[in-house]
Amino acid sequence: MDQIIMSANDGGAPTPISPDTFEELTHYFKYASSAYSPVCLRPNGNTLVLQFGSQVTDIQGFIARDDHRRELIVALRGSASVADALLDASVILVPFLTPGVKLPPKARVHAGFLAAWDSVAVQITTALATQRQLHPGHRLVTVGHSLGGALATLAAVSLLQIFPVSPVMDQTRTYSYGAPRAGNQVFAEYVNAEFGARAFRVVHTNDGVPTIIPTSLGYHHHGVEYWQHLDPPSPSTTVRCAAGGEDPFCSASIPSGGVNPAHATYLGITVPTPFCL
């Protein structure tokens, strides 16, 4: 695993990632892309634990178990309906109110994203509680693309508090791809402090979704951003940015163009390609 070699105040140029990190980012994107599939019987070739969803918010996804890597992976789908669009548009910043979770008093998150997470949180945590009893050494991983990436961050924050890490388990990790800003600076700093190098936020070239919710509304990205700044995707065209989340040398340097072609492809994989066999 690569370690963070820059801080938010380093001011240096972003550095290319290793082939191992590139392979890791690609591996977890396959789960994020598969979350768009209505049914995914073998997520990334692994065991399907639960296919979850909410009729109210139209959020869906699955929990997979990888016994080789000893992981329980929660994959959340990105926007795919009118209901999802309405959630995306609910940009008011609100306190993080989820049972069993307590954040710093001034931490605020996107109201629509929080409503989406809360609509499936009980299904997910109930299934994970059972799986953790059966597989106590498996770490928790959350993944998602677009809206799903923002939800993956909220999920990771929740699961980290709800499920304490045992001595034989690696701590929770989270991987987001093309995700919009999910909360304010206090929330971002909390994520950075709790996850550090275990939070991976990937942006493809000029994808406009990660910056579609502007900082002028009080929002702030968490780190660590991995920016594929050129095509085709490779370790040499993907850089690790400053740990603070709003590196001026990375994707934040490009004004948002909204949903564009770059948002539909990550690491050479077109969304929603299923990896379900």
Please state whether beta strands 108-110 and 93-95 pair in parallel, antiparallel, or not at all (unpaired): antiparallel
Strands (E) across 89-246 are located at 93-95, 108-110, 139-145, 173-177, 199-204, 225-228, 238-240
Comparing C-alpha atoms, which of 162, 141, 137, 161 is closest to residue 152?
141
Sequence-ordered alpha helix ranges (H) in 15-110? 19-34, 82-89
The two most distant CA atoms of the chain are separated, in Å, by: 47
Region of 180 (left: φ > 0; alpha: ψ -120 to 50; beta: rest) is: beta
DSSP 3-state assignment of 92?
A: coil
> Which residues are known to be catalytic?
146, 207, 263
Measure the CA–CA gap between 145 and 77, rounded to whole angstroms: 7
Integer CA distances (angstroms), 196 to 3, 147, 192, in order: 9, 22, 5
Measure the CA–CA gap between 264 and 43, rounded to whole angstroms: 20
The burial class, CB within 10 Å (0-12 / 13-18 / 19+), for 111 is: middle
Measure the CA–CA gap between 118 and 169, rounded to whole angstroms: 26
DSSP 3-state assignment of 50?
A: strand
